[in-house]
Structure 1
Amino acid sequence: MDNVPETTIVDTPRVWCDGAGDIRNGPNYRSAALGHPRVYMQIDEKGYVDCGYCDRRFVLKGGPAERGINELGVGDLPAEEGVSPA
């Protein structure tokens, strides 16, 4: 899995990013002056789009990318008893 600094779940396939926090006045709020120019992006069949400036990932709610966010990976599974990890 690649290193994406921040993921935002969105309701529409057309999104914009200015590098500020995900919700105005929310816990992750950063002034737009500390961000980048506002850019508009379109989520495609993958179910997500990454901002070219700050790498924030926008994931379409209910899309294929959201379904994969909480799935377990091989490294997340507990080791079987008596079997050493690979």
Structure 2
Amino acid sequence: MASRIPPPEVFRVKTVQVACDGSGEISPALGHPRVFLRIDEALGFVECGYCDRRFVLEGGPADHKRA
């Protein structure tokens, strides 16, 4: 069985719609085109197709920091 490589970054968010441009600590000019992503509430997360960042819905099924 192949091991799954974890995402490079995980962001916990409060909304099901997010935008990603690959920037952060780098200039947006060095990222990728801005894409708008929608979290499937049954999964609780979505991953960016460009940079593989994972956006996890707070309190959703993929949120392992639920209190």
TM over 0.5, yes or no? Answer: yes
Count of matched residue positions in the alignment of Structure 1 and Structure 2: 62
Larger Rg over CA atoms: 1
The percentage of counterpart residues that share the same residue type is 56
Determine the C-alpha separation between the residues in 2 that align with 1:20 and 1:31.
Answer: 6
Q: TM-score, normalised by structure 2?
A: 0.84
Q: Structure 1 unaligned segments of length 5 or more: list them.
A: 22-28, 71-86
CA displacement, residues 10-54 of structure 1 (integer Å, 9 cap, x when unaligned): 010000100001xxxxxxx21101100000010001000000000
> Which has the larger share of helix?
1
Structure scoring higher RCO (CA < 8 A, sep ≥ 6) equals 2
| In structure 2, distance between residues paired with 1:2 and 1:62 | 23
Q: Report the structure, 1 or 2, having the larger strand content.
A: 2
Alignment partners' CA distance in 2, 1:50 and 1:60: 12
TM-score (norm 1): 0.67
Runs of 4+ in 1 over 4 A off after TM superposition: none
